Structure 1
């Protein structure tokens, strides 16, 4: 199939000529998802037009468009002539005059702008969006993009946006309780939150900023566990935060790194088998924390489970089946 992949164009750093690419240079959840999905689709024989990520690496079967203006995207899509348009931008970059068969993966914690032919990352996200029957397709992972490490180093990892709703303070409290250092990696756009974190956990937290490339995969692979202690409050758009898909879970698991998560949003759906789920708001004692860390599955089990559930070939097949439904004229909400 010919697939037009539309993602939201975001600037990278202070240079106005640079865009977050696919895969991303550092932080970029949607960009990682699209990169991995494209791996599976390309291996299935698809041809892809990538919109919203100028400067992405050139690869066989992919046309990377430099167009970022919504008004111009329509012409680029029409020139490509796709069988299906796959929107990852919540319609932000999708032309209003697009009449091609279209599906939309919702990556946010909100009701999508376009609910017709939506695809959700979890049942929790789908329910919050008000849908009962739209497809749920998990986030993919390509083990070739991960580094597997069976023998771990003595640190725990938080990887993601350094914000209250992502549970960084809760991760630091867990690490202090268990007596293991916590490496925090990701963008810190809320300086006061980061400053308070470092002041309150000076002997526990090591902040390394955004990481990308081999440094990122190595950091994930060598951690004893990845902490995904998402909280139902403090989200970036206000209101209740419901963790939609959690790319970090599949990436960590494919690297052989088990996950310790809360029961927020998608996490109780995906973490069992690759880690442990803790009730949100539970106070963790040193004894509790040590028992949790000791009970985690082995690196080999975690990796095998991740690849079986979320391998890029498996997820690509699920998307191709949904693409065919849309191309045939089927409509769902």
Structure 2
């Protein structure tokens, strides 16, 4: 099957000449998803064209387009002649329907701009989008892209955008209750929010910046636990935040690292397999925090669960089934 994969075209940092690649140089949840899915599709024998991520590395079966606009994307798609287009951009690179069979994965909150042939990441996300019949396919992870370690270091990790809705402050409060240090890694675009955390949790919270490559995978593998304490307020687009898919949960599990998460959005659907869930806004007392950490699954079990539930080959097969439906003209909302 010939699949055109549309990735959101974002600049990397302040460099006007560089784009976020697939996989990303640093922060980039969607780019990690696209990378893992492409791995699975290539293993299944597909031909893939990647658009929206110039600078990504091509390999057998994968070609990389320089397209970053609708016009250049249209030209590249016409040359490639895909069987199916898979849009991860919410219509940014392919605003017109009907030219090719199209499947659209929604990575955000709310109702997508283009609802036809949508795929959602969780029941919570699908419900918020007003759909009841569209497929739910979890975010993939390729364990071979992760570092795996069974022996952990004595710190907790927050990995993601350092923002109110992602729960970085709640992660620092949990770490203090547990008597452990917290490493915060990710972009801090709301600098005053980060500065307040570092001031209020001096001696607990340490900000190490936005990281990528082996620094990122090593950090995930070394942490005693990953904290994903998303909160339902102050979302990036206003209103309630419903965690859509949480890429980092499957990555942590594949690294042998357990997860402690809030009950926001997708998290109570996926985290019980690989960790523990607590109510949003709840900060455990020291005894409870210690008990939660002691109850978490062991690294080999986490790695096995990640492969079985979210492995790149498993998720690619689910998408191939959906692609086949779209390719013969089946439509859904």
- What TM-score results when the alignment is normalised by the length of structure 1? 0.99
Shift of 1:281: 2.1
1:202 alignment counterpart: 202
1:59-74 map, 5 Å:
59-74=59-74
What are the Cα deviations for residues 226-251 of structure 1, in whole angstroms up to 9, with x where unaligned?
00000000110000000000001000
Task: Tell me whether 1:144 sits opposite 2:152 in the alignment.
Answer: no
TM-score, length-scaled by structure 2: 0.99
Question: Which residue of the partner structure matches residue 135 of structure 2?
Answer: 135
Q: Does 1:213 align with 2:213?
A: yes
Structure-2 separation of matches of 1:17 and 1:281: 41
1:231-242 correspondence to structure 2 within 5 Å:
231-242=231-242
CA distance in 1, matches of 2:69, 2:114: 19
RMSD in angstroms over aligned alpha carbons?
A: 0.8
Secondary structure of 2:158's aligned partner: strand
Where does structure 2 lack aligned partners over 5 or more consecutive residues?
none
Q: Contact 1:74 / 1:97 at 8 angstroms: preserved in 2?
A: no
Aligned mates of 1:43, 1:273 — CA distance in 2:
26
Deviation string 1:283-303 (CA, Å, 9 cap, x unpaired) is 310111001011111111111
**TM-aligned CA deviation for residue 95 of structure 1:** 4.0
Q: Which residue pairs with 1:268 in the alignment? A: 268
SS at 2:4's partner residue?
A: strand
For 1:71 and 1:58, the matched residues in 2 are separated by 22
Question: 1:288-307 counterparts in 2 under 5 A?
Answer: 288-307=288-307
Equivalent residue, structure 2, for 1:286 = 286
Asked if residue 168 in structure 1 is aligned to residue 168 in structure 2, the reply is yes
Number of residue equivalences? 333
Q: Which residue of 2 aligns with 1:183?
A: 183
Match of 1:51 in 2: 51
Q: What is the deviation of 1:71?
A: 1.6
For 1:283 and 1:227, the matched residues in 2 are separated by: 12
After superposing on structure 2, the runs of 4+ consecutive aligned residues of structure 1 that deviate more than 4 Å are none
Cα deviation digits, residues 292-331 of structure 1 (max 9, x gap): 0111111111111111100011000000000000001100
**1:251-310 alpha-carbon deviations (Å, 9 max, x no partner):** 000000000000000000000120000011223101110010111111111111111100
Q: 8 Å contact 1:74–1:98 — kept in the other structure?
A: no
Aligned to 1:104: 104
Partner SS, residue 169 of structure 1: helix
Give me the whole-angstrom Cα distance separating, in 2, the residues matched to 1:125 and 1:196: 31
